[in-house]
Amino acid sequence: MLATVMLLLVAPQGVQAQAQLSDNQRSDNGPNGVGSMMTSDEARATVQSLVDLAIGKTPHRYDGKKNWEKTKKIWAGVRFRRDGLKLSTHRRWRDVRHGLQTRYHVQFPGQASAPRPILATVRNVTHSSGDSAERAGWMIECDLATPLDFTARIERWNLGVQWYSVEVSGHMEIRLTVHGRLSSYPDYSVLPPAIVIDPTVTSASLHLAALHVDRISKVGGEVAETWGEIVEKIVNEILIDDINKKLHAKLNKAIDKKRDELRFSASDWMSGLTATGDQPAP
């Protein structure tokens, strides 16, 4: 779910942006792009459309696990075999669970049909000139924040012996900081040419803003660590750190899956500009 949430790469409902160029100023064409197709207002409107699309397709719940049922091979003795006067030995091994193991699920609060409680602010929209490697476009910085409910089962195993098994549930607030690039270009494979919107996440990081534990259930075993340390491990090391390792790639992968929805016919593009009160560049 979080990977899809982060498809909200540049802004959500209630966008607040400060463009560093005049709203009526259009970016210049790059050597390999069509930056003049969008003003900063149009770029923000495009961002809004992308966010609306992403919010509508964001799953209500995400299930994950880290090191769950992970095993370690240990020595289990020696098997002896006698064949006449010949004695042979064979080492035996077995796999046992070992280490800190967690499975968890996170979800938006409320019913699955309820609107997603995602708040985002676009902090900056800056024109970027194109070069031989990339098209002219807009560099966009934004912050996204949302509350999430979570439940996690955490178990500590030591060479097949379970030290403890605990279930923790609560709610947290997370913040996502995203830097993205938005450009557009014509697709001349059809006539009149279609317009392709090309968003890319350049960097992203997830942060824990607040954490509240509602319930801690001791399922079995003796807990060797304090509850606070357990919860901190769950959220920071298992949820946040694990997600951040793959976040940038997951965001762009999620965007790539929606590329077909980011291609507009010339008539759709013109209609969109008319609806927002803008006129295309001459």
Q: Closest Cα to residue 194, out of 246, 98, 260?
A: 260
In the predicted model, what is the mean pLDDT of residues 17-33? 41
Tokens of 107: 């979800």
User: Which residue type is seen at 8?
Assistant: L
In the predicted model, what is the mean pLDDT of residues 267-277? 59
Domain ranges of the chain: 2-72+98-275
The tens digit of pLDDT for each residue in 118-164 reads 887 777 778 887 666 777 788 888 888 999 998 888 889 999 999 88
Q: What pTM was estimated for this model as a whole?
A: 0.66
pLDDT band at 273 (very low <50, low <70, confident <90, very high): low
Give the separation between CA 154 and CA 70, rounded to whole angstroms: 13
- Range in 83-97, 138-152, 210-224, 244-258 with the lowest mean pLDDT: 210-224
Residue with tokens 């060479």, as numbered in its chain: 159
Distances in Å between the Cα of 155 and the Cα atoms of 13, 166, 275 are: 40, 6, 55
pLDDT at 23: 42
Q: Is 18 a residue whose pLDDT tops 70? A: no
